[in-house]
Amino acid sequence: MTTARARALTLPAVLTALTLTLTACGNGDGTDQPTTDENALNLGILYPQTGNLAYLGPPQLAATEYAISEINDAGGVLGTDVPDPMTADEAGEEGRANDSAGTLVADGADAVIGAAASGMTQAVHQTITGAGIAQCSGSSTAPDLSDIDDGGHFHRTAPSDLMAGPVLAQEILDDGHQNVAVVARADDYGSGYLQAVQNELRSNGAQVPIAETYDPDTTNFGAVIEAVNERNVDAVALISFEEGTQILASLLESGLDGDQVYVTDGLNDPDLGATVSENADLVTGVTGVAPSADNPEFNEGISGFDDDLQIFQFAPQVYDCVNLIALAAESADSTDPADYTPHIVEVSRPDGTECTGFEECRDLLDGGEDIDYQGASGDIDLDDNGDPSAATFEIFEFGADGYDIREYVDYTDDRN
């Protein structure tokens, strides 16, 4: 892998628009139930053990376990170890995800980490936050989540697609493309991301003759592929999950070169080439953008919790969710979400003393100082909606030598 370079961008003010086995016993619906401790901070994690985002499951679980281990090594939250997390499968199905969320709530979770997918978070947030329980997602990026009715209980460390979209658009523009098709799955994730990419391209003088969404549950993507092929575009931005491999294969086989195609975090998979085609080299040249962290030390540490991890996508953000909740409980001197939830934003704000890791930040709180938690994913600075106002993105590509992270881009939302 080549050495990645870093650069910084700012969001313009004018932008408007696995199954893994734990020692706990399972109940048969993908939910594991360790014994809760009424004196402890009891965490649940709702993540994709099955479904089309199951590849995101291992890093999310490992990140949660990594954070808990460091917290407990430092003496726990308010002097009590955090128990093993209760785990539940969001499964890529709204009904299943909501049932799993209800089980975590009924089993006594003081906070829920997840869901992973934006659509699943939309489906479950009322079940969780409506019960007065804190929820933090490290990977739900849909812009609409900023304004959900959550009573102040929902937070996320993953950046909104209103930040990711301009980064992807700028990468397309930097490569000299000026006539771009944008294709996205028709859901909260895809629609919001599409709008952000389209707005940024057009504000910089590029043409967007096609801005199409498709039903992610269909098995026939012929209409959207035909629409792209009929236009003389010089690049395509594909905003999708695993189903997008079929669209990607058809576009590349119909004559587009890999360096004309740009993808998002939903296709950030080192094995994408083998998934797309028997000819894995077909994806050579494809470039993508994903929330990330330029943090090799974190990657080394989390590997101790899953030796088979190939990608670390959203793992730093999930780790930060756990730490923010734990530090909020320390700040409030309570593990009751009614008490500590208002402190989640406070412990991330830049008017406090900068600190990294649970132990250092906890000690500052014990000394009576306000803190500014510097996360594994970067300087988060949650806003009043519980959204990060700064984030790091990776530019990944499938080159002649395979998958590579080419550079990191720091991005700041200055609309607030």
Contact in structure between 213 and 220 (CB atoms under 8 Å): no
What's the pLDDT score for residue 308?
A: 86
43-159+295-389 folds as Rossmann fold (3.40.50)
Q: Which of 142, 146, 143 is nearest to 120 (CA)?
A: 142
Mean pLDDT value across residues 328-341: 98
Contacts of 167 by beta carbon, 8 Å cutoff, 6+ apart: 9, 289, 393, 409, 411
Architecture of domain 5-10+161-293+391-413: 3-Layer(aba) Sandwich (3.40)
How does residue 11 score in pLDDT terms, banded at 50, 70 and 90?
A: very low
CB atoms within 10 A of CB 145: 25
Tell me the sheet residues that pair with 356.
Answer: 374
Residue 9 has pLDDT above 60, yes or no: no
Contact in structure between 321 and 111 (CB atoms under 8 Å): no
Spacing of C-alpha 230 from chain mean position: 34
Mean pLDDT value across residues 319-335: 98
Query: What does pLDDT average to over the chain?
Result: 91
How does residue 30 score in pLDDT terms, banded at 50, 70 and 90?
A: low
How does residue 3 score in pLDDT terms, banded at 50, 70 and 90?
A: very low
CB atoms within 10 A of CB 197: 29
What's the pLDDT score for residue 48?
A: 96
How does residue 17 score in pLDDT terms, banded at 50, 70 and 90?
A: very low
What's the pLDDT score for residue 6?
A: 54
How does residue 339 score in pLDDT terms, banded at 50, 70 and 90?
A: very high
Domains of the chain by residue range: 5-10+161-293+391-413, 43-159+295-389
Fold match, 5-10+161-293+391-413 / 43-159+295-389: yes
What's the pLDDT score for residue 25?
A: 36
Residue 111 has pLDDT above 70, yes or no: yes
